[in-house]
Amino acid sequence: MLTTGSRFLKVWTTDPSALGDTLVANKAAFESTMTASYKAAYEANTGEAPPGFTGVKASDEAGVKTVTVAPPPSPSPTPTPTPTPTPTPSPAGPAPSPGAPAPPAPPAEEESDNTGMIVGIIVGVVLGVGALGGIFYMYKKKKADS
């Protein structure tokens, strides 16, 4: 035993299989404690009961599960489009009748990011105020000299 101040801290050393057996033996206590703790933590954070939560179901076996994360898929190259052949006009066929006009193309999307415009306006205003201040300073200096 290790002593820390007036409290005792007991240190257990056990092998993983014995710890797993202990957890499986105490499965019901773990499930009820975990369920109550999760509900209390969720309600403390959100102010309402967790929707659809029915409880924790522990496994009957203890073991180690190794999870391997799959690498991200490599970007596939985009295939180049094949050119469409131009149709040859048939000399003996009747002229095609004009059909319904094609709908107009949708307007091009404008760029919604206007950061460049805002920066340009700010720089312009600062330079304009600086130029006016410089002109005013030169005017006062010339007036003081004469």
pLDDT for 140: 93
The answer on pLDDT for 57 being more than 90 is: no
How far is residue 71's CA from residue 48's CA, in Å, rounded to a whole number?
Answer: 38
Q: Has residue 89 been placed in a domain?
A: no
CA-closest candidate to residue 30, choices 49, 65, 56: 56
Of 58, 61, 67, 64, the closest CA to residue 27 belongs to 58
Most confidently predicted of 23-32, 67-76, 95-104: 23-32
pLDDT for 1: 45
Examine residue 128 and state whether it is found in any structural domain, yes or no.
no
Instruction: Please report whether residue 10 resides in a domain.
Output: yes
Residue 143 lies in a domain: no
Q: Has residue 12 been placed in a domain? A: yes
Contact 30, 62 (CB under 8 A): no
Specify the number of domains making up the chain.
1
Q: What is the pLDDT of residues 82-102, one digit of tens each?
A: 777 777 666 655 555 566 677
The beta strand positions in 29-124, using DSSP E, are none
| Residue-number span of the structural domain to which 8 is assigned | 2-46
Place of tokens 């009747």: 94
Burial of 111 (0-12, 13-18, 19+ CB in 10 A): exposed
Residue 21 lies in a domain: yes
On the 0-12 / 13-18 / 19+ scale of CB atoms within 10 A, 58 is middle
Per-residue model confidence (pLDDT) at position 102 = 72
Reduced to 3 states (helix: H, G, I; strand: E, B; else coil), residue 8 is: strand
**Is the pTM of the predicted complex or chain greater than 0.75?**
no
> Are 42 and 49 contacting, i.e. CB atoms less than 8 angstroms apart?
yes
What is the residue-averaged pLDDT of the chain? 77
pLDDT interval class at 109 (50, 70, 90): low
Average pLDDT over residues 121-127: 96
24: in domain = yes
Length of the chain: 146
Q: Looking at the domain assignment, is residue 80 inside a domain?
A: no
